[in-house]
Amino acid sequence: MKHENLKARQDTQIVLVHFTGEDSSTYEDIKQSHLDEGEPEIGFHFIITAQGTTLMGRHASRVGFHHPEHNDISVGVCVIGNRDEMSDEQSIALTLLLEKLKSDYPSLETVKYLYKNP
């Protein structure tokens, strides 16, 4: 049953924005934690670094590995840091990404913010 998440996502209803919180995770740290859990690649679709750079993760058309209840219907975005301490660069990058996702996926119903470590 492993690697089932590499299948194409059939329905996109939600963008889940995760924040790493106080820890200083990097793209490589997050990727390694997902590999350690048996995934073939990073489970988030996008990572926004502390400097506001948007990095690609798992292809946006694929089922992610970021929230067990919503993987099949969501795009997963991980922001390094805390929501209330986002830099201007991070805030702009997140806003632009959300606007693009709304354009790419007209079926999007909502954006949810999660404040747990990835």
The CATH number assigned to the domain holding 97 equals: 3.40.80.10
Domain that holds residue 28: 18-114
Position 116 scores a pLDDT of 58
Say if 2 falls within a structural domain.
no
CA–CA separation, 48 vs 56, rounded Å? 9
Better-scored residue on pLDDT, 117 or 25: 25
Domain count, the chain: 1
The pLDDT confidence band at residue 4, using thresholds 50, 70 and 90, is low
The average pLDDT across 68-76 equals 93
Q: What is the pTM of this model?
A: 0.88
Average pLDDT, the chain: 89
CA–CA separation, 10 vs 24, rounded Å? 33
Say if 82 falls within a structural domain.
yes
CA–CA separation, 76 vs 71, rounded Å? 8
Position 118 scores a pLDDT of 42
